[in-house]
Amino acid sequence: MNDIGRLFQAFVAPAIFFSATALFILSINVRLMGIVSRLRQYVHARNEAVRNGQLVEADACTTQIESMEQRAEMIRRTFLLSLIALVGTLLSCLLLGLGLYWQPGALAAAAVFVAAMIALLAGVLFYIREVTVALTSVRQEAGDERFAHLDSPEDRDHSLL
């Protein structure tokens, strides 16, 4: 009976990291969806500008698309590293349980957990990097006069009122 209590104790710490990592992944997913949505808007605006012969505006959209693609790549790396950390945390839970009955399992659990936390740290660093450049594309667009003739769908809707 004592082993069952120890087993649950062994699961608690990694389980907390598992929950925290899962919430972090949810945050990353929302951010990635926002970036992809905005990227699609720029691609549509660029195609529309090319169709209308607005090559300067199309070039401005291309600049923004490149910036958004770089941000999306940082978020993709964050997402991937966080998923690796999630799997590592789950694996360390299982190995900790095994470690109660087989000593090398406990050592493997510690090694896997440390590797998972290093992956999570790397993911967080990519996330910090993306957050620090998040407003760059907005500032570029605000200061770029090439966007002066491109109306967003919201602007067109308001002009009809």
In tens, the pLDDT along 48-81 reads 989 988 888 888 888 889 988 999 999 999 999 9
What is d(CA 153, CA 88) in angstroms, rounded to the nearest whole number? 44
Are the CB atoms for 10 and 19 separated by under 8 Å?
A: no
At residue 159, does pLDDT exceed 50?
A: no
Give pLDDT, residue 123: 95
What is d(CA 16, CA 144) in angstroms, rounded to the nearest whole number? 46
Q: How many residues are recorded in the chain?
A: 161
This prediction's pTM: 0.73
